[in-house]
Structure 1
Amino acid sequence: MANIKEVAARAGVSTTTVSHVINETRFVAEETRERVFAAMQALNYAPSLVARSLKVKETNSIGMLVTTSSNPFFAEVVRGVERYCFEQGYNLMLGNTEGQAETALSYLKMMLRKRVDGLLIMCSEGQQEVFNQLDWLKSLPVVVMDWGMENKEVDLIADNSHRGGYLATRHLLALGHTDIGCITGPHSRAPADQRLAGYAQAMQEAGLVPNPAWIQEGDFDCASGHDAMLRLLSQPSRPSALFVCNDMMAMGAISAAHQAGLKIPQDLSLVGYDNVALAQYMSPPLTTINQPKEELGRLAVTRLLARINGEQIDNRMITVEPNLTIRESCATFLPR
């Protein structure tokens, strides 16, 4: 790992100047600061920053990376995190990566320059290479929320997605539906596959074999839910009920169904996932799997602060249990 002398040499300045830039203890011209930061990034240098923030905890700030804050689920979790941080006397520094590894890396480096005391990450899956580039993250407390990265040194707080998919499908089965389809999230993301596995288990227990044509992949957003529904409706036959693996895709799916002349739930029953605030105001109000978003945020901040304070905790994983919220988007099956 690079040291401060190597950073100084690359930037063409003294080690004292590098120290002043890092610690903001003296005015340094902006051009010089930029050369120092460029050298630090090129050399992946930041251990002294992390060590200092962990030792004295002067900033009382927490960094948080999210995949996209435009998704109501993420926005509601962030709101809970921010509220609990404020109650504990911490500031929250938020970075929206939009799923881009380069953006995530840039935010991480910026947050470490700002000496955050710890990190909350809600976008790690599919961006493992970002974290592999930053060896100095190993000395900073990190809590991953919802999607896990492959690192035994971080804490993971996750929804029991398999259980949620199982509950959603069991609800439709209890209403008499046997022709049940599923709009999944992207198979590259663990929660999507876990929810699909819960659906498959419920179908198997009922002695049913899912029709592969009725399982369509989405991308956890409205547009992909709309497109998945169109693909499903283009099949020779259609299911009487659907489990959709998040509420955003459910909104898109319902829109496509309405455009095709179908009525919810008379022609098609539908269960979503997440229970975002908008779900209760949809037409009809959406039956969905509730993720306890406030609890997820509170647990993540509580665990991160415990790590920042040096508490010894053996268990690295906390599972948050979902539950079913019944509204009006499902009906008892009636033969066509």
Structure 2
Amino acid sequence: MATIKDVAKQAGVSISTVSHVLNGTRFVSEDKAYRVRQAVEALNYKPSAVARSLKTNKTYTIGMLTGSNANPFFAEVIHGVEATCYERGYHLVLCNSDDNLDKQASYLQTLEEKRIDGLLVMSAHSDPGFFEMLRDRCQWPLVILDCQAPGMEADVIMEDPEQGGYEATRHLLNNGHRSIACISGPADLSPSSQRLAGYHRALEESGIPAGWIIEGRLTAESGFEAANRLLNGLDDGQQPPSALFVGNDLMAMGVICALQTRGYRIPDDISVIGYDDIELASYTSPPLTTIHQPKAELGRLAADTLIKRIENPGRKPEVKTLRSTLVERQSVKTTM
């Protein structure tokens, strides 16, 4: 296996010149740089990652702490992160914590041992101890995805959940619905509470009182359970709402399943709108009208922001907000 000394000898330059060409740490004349690149190719030289990290004090490795890879929303964001890391020459270490505080502490220890250069955090964790632990333990440049991070020295990348909740509810109102219920995510998660706030704002603007509000856990199973709780809570002869705003697509799928099991037709009897626009939303029956989050773009922007902070550590933290958009499919009926 060729060494850096072999490359220097073949190129007729010093070892330090080879190092400067490979690491871009100092100007080298075009002639010498060309000879080094030719020698690297001819000898099939592969720089030692360990030696490189010792010399530059960087491992070109990013850690990512996620809540649950099982949620398609997370998977699509991670895809954007991976693509950017690959393009920029960084490796990604992915840690799926299931929002378990003990696992998160263990993964932070592992990432410390791997000497990562920066950390991405995308977690649905509502335990205040999580951010407290992160403040105490995180020694790297940090980017938080999809939620606020009070008191953290971190960049934040997210969409506007309050506006998204407003637009979802506004779409139902524009289609003539006046009895609109909401199946929200956990109230102690900021994206869920802000989507619910958008629902309330749209109804208040129209002078319409809020309908039934039932809290779910962002899973299809919890959406199924919430829809059944809503229907079971109706008084004898009481009509169900004409439309439901559901806090994410997985819960919306569970809601549709529960309603159809009980004999309701979607959207003829009850309209349903979701949130996230995961890939599966196009393949529900009927296809789900939803709020599209730019998930891959969210991941790409987060990874790019973190790499820029790693390479320019003096930058001030920023909050970057992406805009969500309505995707109309076939699960909302016009009643006007």
TM-score by length of 1: 0.80
Residues 295 and 209 of structure 1, relative CA distance in 2, 3 Å threshold: same
1:138/1:153 contact within 8 Å kept: no
Q: CA deviation at 1:112?
A: 1.1
The one-letter code of the counterpart of 1:95 is C
Residues 135 and 311 of structure 1, relative CA distance in 2, 3 Å threshold: closer
Q: Percent identity?
A: 46
Partner residue, 2:231:
233
Task: Provide Cα deviations, 1:118-160, integer angstroms capped at 9, x if missing partner.
Answer: 0000016424424534666453101000123333311111110
Partner residue, 1:114:
114
2:216/2:222 contact within 8 Å kept: yes
| Match for residue 265 of structure 1 among 267, 279, 283 | 267
Partner residue, 1:218:
216
Q: Cα RMSD (Å) of the superposition?
A: 1.9
1:59/1:115 contact within 8 Å kept: yes
Q: CA deviation at 1:59?
A: 1.6
Residues 239 and 102 of structure 1, relative CA distance in 2, 3 Å threshold: same
Residues 315 and 330 of structure 1, relative CA distance in 2, 3 Å threshold: same
Task: Provide Cα deviations, 1:274-303, integer angstroms capped at 9, x if missing partner.
Answer: 000000011100000000011101110111
**DSSP-derived class of the 2:214 partner:** strand
Residues 252 and 220 of structure 1, relative CA distance in 2, 3 Å threshold: same
Alignment of 1:311-326 (within 5 A): 311-326=313-328
Distance 2:173 2:124 in 1: 34
Distance 2:299 2:278 in 1: 14
**DSSP-derived class of the 1:294 partner:** helix
Residues 203 and 164 of structure 1, relative CA distance in 2, 3 Å threshold: same
Partner residue, 2:165:
165
Task: Provide Cα deviations, 1:202-253, integer angstroms capped at 9, x if missing partner.
Answer: 0000110113xx1110000001000000011112231000100100000000
Distance 2:184 2:129 in 1: 25
Alignment of 1:177-196 (within 5 A): 177-196=177-196
Residues 126 and 227 of structure 1, relative CA distance in 2, 3 Å threshold: same
The one-letter code of the counterpart of 1:316 is E
Partner residue, 2:78:
78
Task: Provide Cα deviations, 1:91-115, integer angstroms capped at 9, x if missing partner.
Answer: 1100111110000111111011101
Q: Structure 1 unaligned runs (5+)?
A: 1-51
**DSSP-derived class of the 1:319 partner:** strand
Residues 270 and 134 of structure 1, relative CA distance in 2, 3 Å threshold: closer
Distance 1:309 1:127 in 2: 32
Alignment of 1:17-166 (within 5 A): 56-123=56-123, 125-133=125-133, 137-166=137-166
Between structure 1 and structure 2, the one with the greater Rg is: 2
Distance 2:227 2:151 in 1: 36
2:60/2:90 contact within 8 Å kept: yes
Task: Provide Cα deviations, 1:7-40, integer angstroms capped at 9, x if missing partner.
Answer: xxxxxxxxxxxxxxxxxxxxxxxxxxxxxxxxxx
**DSSP-derived class of the 2:320 partner:** strand
**DSSP-derived class of the 2:107 partner:** helix
Partner residue, 2:310:
308
**DSSP-derived class of the 1:62 partner:** strand
1:80/1:294 contact within 8 Å kept: yes
| Match for residue 277 of structure 2 among 253, 270, 275 | 275
**DSSP-derived class of the 1:70 partner:** coil
TM-score by length of 2: 0.80
**DSSP-derived class of the 1:149 partner:** coil
